[in-house]
Structure 1
Amino acid sequence: MARTHGAEVRRVRLWRWRRNPLRRRSDLIEAWVLLAVLVLALSAAVFAGLTAAGAVDGALAERRDRTRTVAAVLIEDAAHTTPASVSENGDGGVWAPVRWTAPDGTHRTGRAEVEPSDRAGTAVTVWTDPQGRLVSRPPEGAEARFQSVMAGATIGAATAGAGLLGAQFVRSRLQRRRLEEWEAEWRLVEPAWRKRMTG
């Protein structure tokens, strides 16, 4: 424990809730306000996080429902694609031109991710929307769960942070008010104290 001039300094926990002559009314108000804000911030964070995770999960499920797999054919060798066509997800795939048949029977072409060793004429699977346009593969399984959890955690943390910032604002206002009260009391006490010290 820290010592000051030979005296032991002891930190009193939860002093704002304990009766003591130094506790002011504003100290007790601050303690209750901070406790209420903390509980509300944590509750709101959990609620917002679960809501966001559910919304993302629902959006991904809807996206999966609206997406269908279609058989496509690689138009040219994947090895002929330019370096700029290399996939960014790090799985070693490349983007190459493919052809597929849309639901209305028309032939469409576009670029899809394929293996670098695939040759022209290779059958590949692509994902399309209801109009037959190419779309990215919708997240499933662990990837979808990860996106939902990350969205929930991010929104929950942001909500909790906003609540705690609000608590800090309230605390600073209470501190300012307390300092103003102390200053007003000192103006009343200081003349008598000065008179006693100089007299």
Structure 2
Amino acid sequence: MALRGPKVWLWRWRRNPLKRRADRVEAWVVLGVWMLTVFVGVLAGMTVSRSVEDGLARERVEWRPLVARLAERAPGTASENGDVSRAEHVWAEARWTAADGSPQSGQVRVLAGSQAGSPITVWTDREGRQVTRPVTESQARVRASLIGGVAGVCAALAPLAAGRAVRRRLERRRMDQWDAEWSRFGPMWGRTTG
């Protein structure tokens, strides 16, 4: 491991008569890797984010609410207070007619103790399959941003890791050159003139 002094910004780009060709190559590799990392990360993040947001917008357009009726009384008992907790919702069988006229049925979340025949809203896709309620525009933006951010960071790791491997190889090569030069000139230091 090389000893390092205080951190000096942009040291790779400063003029120095002791700078070797390997130092200049490493400077360009570092610059290229960082530029590629930022470019790949931003491009992947924006592409994935737009794709997710477009898919969620398509769902908002294509998915339709239908009125279904409970086929059975929902298990449990309804509470008397106006505030309904998530725990007071249970799964129950509901039936509805799809847009093409075919009868459909499925499990829906309803208040505990709801009576058979009670109306309930279900969401269906174009084929009439039951789906969840589509997300709102603001929820879609947040979800797309989060997924795009994660995708961008993950995509940016590839060029960053590749650059790290190239720098490690350059460092190993530089150390091998230094060892070779040391073995050639090191023995001369012990000689005296006289």
Structure 2: how far apart are the matches of 1:71 and 1:190?
89
Other-structure match for 2:38 = 42
What do you get for the CA RMSD once the two structures are aligned?
2.3
1:179 alignment partner, SS class: helix
Deviation of 1:187 (Å): 1.8
1:72 lines up with 2:77 in the alignment: no
| Alignment match of 1:25 (pick from 21, 26, 29) | 21
Amino acid paired to 1:31: A
Q: How does 1:5-20 map to 2 (within 5 A)?
A: 11-20=7-16
2:66 alignment partner, SS class: strand
Deviation of 1:65 (Å): 2.6
* Contact kept in structure 1, 2:71 and 2:94, CA below 8 Å: yes
Deviation of 1:176 (Å): 0.8
1:139 lines up with 2:139 in the alignment: no
Amino acid paired to 1:186: W
2:13 alignment partner, SS class: coil
1:164 lines up with 2:164 in the alignment: no
Other-structure match for 1:57 = 53
Deviation of 1:33 (Å): 1.2
Structure 1: how far apart are the matches of 2:125 and 2:13?
61
Structure 1: how far apart are the matches of 2:17 and 2:7?
16
Query: What residue ranges of structure 2 are gaps of 5+ in the alignment?
Result: 78-84
Structure 1 residues 70, 11: CA separation in 2 closer, same or farther (over 3 Å shift)?
Answer: closer
Structure 1 residues 13, 150: CA separation in 2 closer, same or farther (over 3 Å shift)?
Answer: closer
* Contact kept in structure 1, 2:57 and 2:137, CA below 8 Å: no
2:39 alignment partner, SS class: helix
* Contact kept in structure 1, 2:76 and 2:113, CA below 8 Å: no
Relative to structure 2, which stretch is displaced further, 36-45 or 133-142? 133-142
Structure 1: how far apart are the matches of 2:101 and 2:164?
63
Normalised TM-score (structure 2) = 0.83
2:75 alignment partner, SS class: helix
Query: What residue ranges of structure 1 are gaps of 5+ in the alignment?
Result: 1-8, 82-89
Deviation of 1:73 (Å): 0.7
Amino acid paired to 1:119: Q
Structure 1: how far apart are the matches of 2:142 and 2:20?
49
Q: Paired residues, what number?
A: 182
